[in-house]
Structure 1
Amino acid sequence: MTSFPDSQFPGPTWLVGCGNMAGAMVTGWRAAGIDLVAVTAIRPSGAAVEGVRTVSALPDGPPPALVMLGFKPQKLDEVAPGLAPRLGADTIVISLLAGVEAATLRQRFPTARACVRAMPNLPVAQRKGVIALYSEDDDPAALTLVQALMAALGFAPIVDDEAHFSAIGAVAGSGPAYVARFVDALISGGEGLGLAPDLAARIALDTLTGTAAMAVATNLPMAELARHVASPKGTTEAGLAVLDASDGINQLIGRMLAASIARGKELADAARQG
């Protein structure tokens, strides 16, 4: 896993908003041994973020080298007017704002060196995340710097199409929630078969982590891995027939991802219109 250059952030770095996702990223960077002395978290509540200096308003001093936007996308036009004048020609803006397009970011922060969209997921806290990256600015050095920062938290692919960025967000950014719901359904199913709740939960979670470990170790395609588990005309094959039905899991997942993409477009439209 690639570490950030010199294992430290450029100074100063501002985390403008630091909720669940940005906080998970801080946890991952700390676990990676990255020096956060140059990082300041700006939260209106002033609630402390472990491992970094936390303030309730934009700090005084020189323009930041790096700014990460971690607030709700609906607050962009509330935050941008005060933040934009504080940025310099060398400031790199990293946006975690779901649905806010690169062109919208450039419009709100015209003086920034580069605007980079990043779509992480919560396993960044364990350094097992997926963080999609996209920028429309012609600044390969800035994008490389951001990728190195994100690679300390997991797999950080750079995509050259904003639609692909949104697709990764739908699959990976939202994916932990969808996987958690599937595991929860397994737990409920186990309880329905008479298992005690704590036992059903332990079995379902260990099945998830064990399957993930097996998939990584063997590098088998998922369809083949399923075939390895399912004996012909056996119990697993009977269950897979339900998932593989014409109204089964592929159709359900397709509708789920389409809903996520559609909501992203709604957020993009709202941000574009201001």
Structure 2
Amino acid sequence: MTSFPDPTWLVGCGNMAGAMVAGWHKAGVDLSSVTAIRPSATPVEGVRTVAMLPDGPPPAFVMLGFKPQKLDEVAPSLAPRITDSTLVVSLLAGVEAATLRQRFPTARAIVRAMPNLPVAQRRGVTALYSADGDKALAEVEALMTLLGVAPRVATEDHFSAIGAVAGSGPAYVARFVAALAAGGEGIGLDADLARLIATETLLGTAAMIAADPIDMTELARRVASPNGTTEAGLAVLDAPDGLAPLLARMLAAAIARGHILAAAARRG
């Protein structure tokens, strides 16, 4: 059975870290050495939960799961507990490895991880980056691959790009499903039925792609008959002001916000 180093601290355990815990539960991981630290002390199912950093031996593994804007609030009390045996994994969007190293100079290694919410279903994407060598990356990768795919990236620019696509992606997909359902309502469908159809269409299409990873253009071609209804709809999406430029602007906005967060973290 896979287990975490003893002791492991989850410093902050909101939606994303909580989704990861749920995924590890589904994978049968032993979480007995894990303590979640939340100011509210709101319980995290399956792990010990406390409001403050626990007493006792220093942590072997720390995962930072709070809001990135809280880094300079959390670091002063956490840093003295980090030793040269501690592996620090950061989920903090936009906070660069060099900034983390400044806050936690004694850490054995620092690894940035950018998961997305489907980790709860073990179908997530978790980008990994470290400037501290392959050993630490391999340790974190062994845990993250239990939650889905965990690609390593060579640069933090690539890390940010995966975050913009995969990390933010579930929110964008949710907007698309909601818009598709709203469109169904607009042409006369009951609201609940429109949502069901939109959701099942997403799930069914994803299952097809997972079973047979064909080119997306080819999949669209299989659906669209020449001069048919689907082709008419695709013409709207494929227009010069259609889906592709909209998504390009969306991703550029996410990347730009990441740069702002990184600059703010560097300034402290």
Q: Shorter-chain-normalised TM-score: which range?
A: over 0.9
How far the C-alpha of 1:55 sits from its partner, in A, is: 0.5
Residue matched to 1:233 = 227
CA offset digits 1:147-197 (Å, max 9, x no partner): 011111000011011100000000000000000100100000000000001
Aligned partner letter, 2:165: V
Following superposition, the deviation at residue 219 of structure 1 comes to: 1.1
Distance 2:211 2:41 in 1: 44
Question: Letter of the aligned partner of 1:235 in structure 2?
Answer: T
1:205-254 per-residue CA deviation (whole Å, 9 max, x = no partner) reads 01000000111112101111111111111100000000000000000000
Deviation of the 1:94 alpha carbon: 0.3
Give the equivalent residue in structure 2 for 1:181: 175
1:27-42 matches, cutoff 5 A: 27-42=22-37
> 1:1-274 alignment to 2 at 5 Å?
6-138=1-133, 140-274=134-268
* 1:137 to partner: Cα distance: 1.2
Distance 1:224 1:90 in 2: 51
Task: Give 1:128 shift.
Answer: 0.5
1:258 Cα deviation after fit: 0.2
Paired letter, 1:152: L
Residue type matched to 1:130 in 2?
V
Distance 2:50 2:98 in 1: 29
Q: Distance in 2 between matches of 1:217 and 1:143?
A: 29
Report how many residues are paired: 268
Residue ranges of structure 1 left out of the alignment (5+ in a row): 1-5
C-alpha separation between the residues in 2 aligned to 1:79 and 1:218? Answer: 46
1:24-78, Cα deviation, whole Å (9 max, x unpaired): 0000001100000000000011111000000000011111110000000000000
Name the CA distance, whole Å, in 2 between partners of 1:255 and 1:30.
37
* TM-score (normalised: structure 2): 0.99
Q: Which amino acid aligns with 2:98?
A: A
2:58 is paired with a residue whose SS is: coil
Give the 4+ runs in structure 1 shifted more than 4 A.
none
Shift of 1:134: 0.3
Question: C-alpha distance in 2, partners of 1:28/1:98?
Answer: 20
Q: TM-score, normalised by structure 1?
A: 0.97
1:135 Cα deviation from its structure 2 partner: 0.6
User: Relative contact order: is structure 1 or structure 2 higher (C-alpha 8 Å, sep ≥ 6)?
Assistant: 1
